[in-house]
Structure formats: C-alpha cells, structure tokens
Amino acid sequence: MAVPARADSAPKQEYRVRFNRAGETLGASVHSNLGERLGIALRDDERIHIDVYLERLSLLDPALPDRLRGRVTRLLAEQKEFTYSGDFMVDDRNHHLHISGRILGAHSGDLVYSLLFLDDTEHTELRRLYEYMFRLANHELKGPLACVIGAVDFAEEHVAAGNLDGVRTCLDMIDRNASLLDEMITRYLNLSRIESGSITLTHDRLLFSEEVLNPVIADMQPSLRRKRMHVRFECLPDNEEAELWADSEKVEIVIRNLISNAIKYGDLDTEIMVSMTTDSDGARVTVTNQGPEIPKADQEKLFEKFVRLETGAGTKGAGLGLYNSRKIVAFWGGEMAVQSGQGETTFTFTVPTGPGP
C-alpha cells in the first residue's frame, strides 16, 4: 500500500487534498510523500468527488470514511472546520495522524476547502516514551531512595547506641542503593541521548584494558566483593592487546553495562571472564559470567527497551542497559550478541581497530 519515500530527501509530514463546494477534488499538495506512504495520494490528473476520496481512506481504517463524511458535509454546508486524530496501521507500523478540514479561501469566485493530513507519529511515540520513562523512573527511583533515607535514620540510632556493626550495615545499604540510583540515572540519560539522536562519537587510539576495563573494575570493587567475584582479562591470540580505534566514553558505557549484569546475574564465588580477540576485521570483546542460563527464546528480548527477564535473582534495573549498549555499538558499525548455555552466559561486541575505508 505504501510507496517508499525518496532516499535523497526527508519525507514531508503533511499531505493536503483540495476540493470545491461541489465536492470535486482540485488536486493535492505538492508535498505528496506522506500521501504516497499512506496509499491515499491523488494522481496529478485525477478528478473525483470528495465522497470517492473518502472511501479511499478505508485503506487506513474501514470506519474512517464514515467518521469523516459527516464532518466534511458540515464543512461544505456550514463552513464548520474540524480536526480529527487517530492511530492507523500502515505496513505493520502504527501512524498517529491529525486530519483537519478547513477553508483555504476563494478561488475564481468559489470557496476552496481542504483535508490536511499531518503525521505526528514520531512526536507522539517520543511523548509516549518519555511519559512511560517518567512513570518507570519515578517507580524505580523511589525504592532505592527510600532505602537510603531509612538507612540514615537507622545509622543515627546505632551511632547513639554505640553499635558500630549496625552503623557498618547501614553504610553498606546506603552504598548499594546509592550505586543503584547512579546506575539508573546514567542509563536513563544515555537512553535520552540515544533516542534524541544527540549521541556523538569520537575516534581515538585506545588501549582497552588500561583506559576502559581497569577503571570500570576499580569502580565496581564493592559490588564484586559482595558477590565474592573477580574479573580476569585475556587477549587472544598470544596475549597481545591491539589498540582500538574508538570512543573511550562509549566503550566504557558498554563494558560497564555488561560487567554490571555479569555481577548481578552471576553466581557467588565465580569469575567474570573478559577476553579480546583481534583479526583483520577489528576486535571482538566478550564478557562471560557463570550463572543461570537464559532460554534461547528470551535471548534476543534482552536487547529490547525496558525488558527485564524473570531470573529469580531478585535484581533490580530499568531494562535499559543492554538496549543502550547495542544501540551504541551499532553507532560505530559494530554488532552485539548473546549466547547462553551450560551454566554460563557470554555477551560479545565488536570494535574497530583502525579507521574505516
């Protein structure tokens, strides 16, 4: 039904059909890309009655012609302008359209009317996304914040009673929940940058272990100690680490997310294995943890927005880390994948080792 927009120009988000008081169509807007995508565009030489055109709108929704016919009749007879909004499936994608009827003005002594279609899909989806994000963030952040506030109150009581063990327990609770808050806020900010298209990449020579991995491991030592886990790094082949050609900040976001997940979902007293393999195509970095397997049917779902699988581990999160990570890896033309089986889970992503062609 839809006709692809030209690749060399951004498709217009509006389409207008003009008609006179007798209901005869007088043509369409010169910006017909939207009409073509929706399958409702007029041909340049087409002259049909507005009722016939309305029937064409059944392509968007079988009930739409009837919904608009009365409004168009009042527009012609009583000059009462109107606006109609709705969601319509086009080529398996939901479009949010505003349809308005109005008077354009007089032409050759006769009034000219129009149906104007405005595609507000992107703005509507973005608004819905951020409304959902706000509700989710409000729910997610309240829990850790309440724990921090409660721990401070308990710590004051333990201090007054001279109970140092109780104070240490409260400080540990504050540390864990403050780290969780910091992680959540960072992931929401990263999502905002990704969804708005404001994320940018720089490309510099980068030594992965020294400039990315070791600082991340140092930051995560409290979490690693709580799970009695450690991280080991190896390079293949021959234990020689190649320099990457990448953005250190973005690579750090990815590796921090992967190691954070490995800690959350890995078993106690286990090793997190980080490896790098290089060849002529670039570097492949893997992060492997030992723990519950992820069913094959659920593995691809991990990279969807706001998805958190039931693991029984009692962990919390916004379901954004892997979504953000795969998007970031895609920005530099890399790929991210997951494999899980035989008591371990491995995430892999690719990074260039030199400038592209």
Phi, psi of 40 (to 5 degrees): -125, 10
Most confident of 71-80, 101-110, 145-154, 295-304: 71-80
In this prediction, residue 137 carries a pLDDT of 65
Q: Are 286 and 275 in contact (CB under 8 A)?
A: yes
Give the CA angle between residues 333, 337, 343 to the nearest 5°.
160
Cα dihedral 28, 29, 35, 37 sign: positive
Could you read off the pLDDT of 223-246 as tens digits, one per residue? 899 899 999 999 987 778 989 999
Could you read off the pLDDT of 303-327 as tens digits, one per residue? 987 676 655 454 555 567 898 899 9
Could you read off the pLDDT of 58-105 as tens digits, one per residue? 988 899 999 999 999 999 999 999 999 888 877 777 788 899 999 988
Could you read off the pLDDT of 189-224 as tens digits, one per residue? 777 777 777 788 888 899 999 999 999 998 888 889
Q: Superfamily for 201-357? A: Histidine kinase-like ATPase, C-terminal domain (3.30.565.10)
Could you read off the pLDDT of 24-71 as tens digits, one per residue? 999 888 677 888 888 888 987 888 999 999 999 998 889 999 999 999
Closest C-alpha among 7, 257, 336, 318 to residue 133 = 318
**How far apart are the C-alpha atoms of 316 and 251, rounded to whole Å?**
23
More confident residue, 123 or 64: 64
Please determine, for residue 115, whether its predicted confidence score (pLDDT) is greater than 90: yes
In this prediction, residue 110 carries a pLDDT of 85
Return mean pLDDT, the chain: 84
In this prediction, residue 212 carries a pLDDT of 94
Residue span(s) of the chain under CATH 1.10.287.130 come to 121-199
In this prediction, residue 44 carries a pLDDT of 78
The architecture (CATH level 2) of 121-199 comes to Orthogonal Bundle (1.10)
Cis peptide before 237 (omega within 30 of 0): yes
In this prediction, residue 310 carries a pLDDT of 58
Please determine, for residue 106, whether its predicted confidence score (pLDDT) is greater than 70: yes
Output the 3-class SS for 319-333: CCHHHHHHHHHHHCC
Residue span(s) of the chain under CATH 3.30.450.20 come to 14-119
Buried-state track 34-44, b at ≥16 Cβ within 10 A, e below 16 = bbbbbebbbee
In this prediction, residue 311 carries a pLDDT of 54
Quick one: pLDDT band at residue 23, thresholds 50, 70, 90? very high
Under CATH, what is the fold of the domain 14-119? Beta-Lactamase (3.30.450)
Please determine, for residue 2, whether its predicted confidence score (pLDDT) is greater than 50: no
Output the pTM of the full model.
Answer: 0.57
Residue span(s) of the chain under CATH 3.30.565.10 come to 201-357
Please determine, for residue 4, whether its predicted confidence score (pLDDT) is greater than 70: no
The sheet that has 25-28: what strands, in order across it?
Answer: 25-28, 14-20, 110-119, 93-107, 82-90
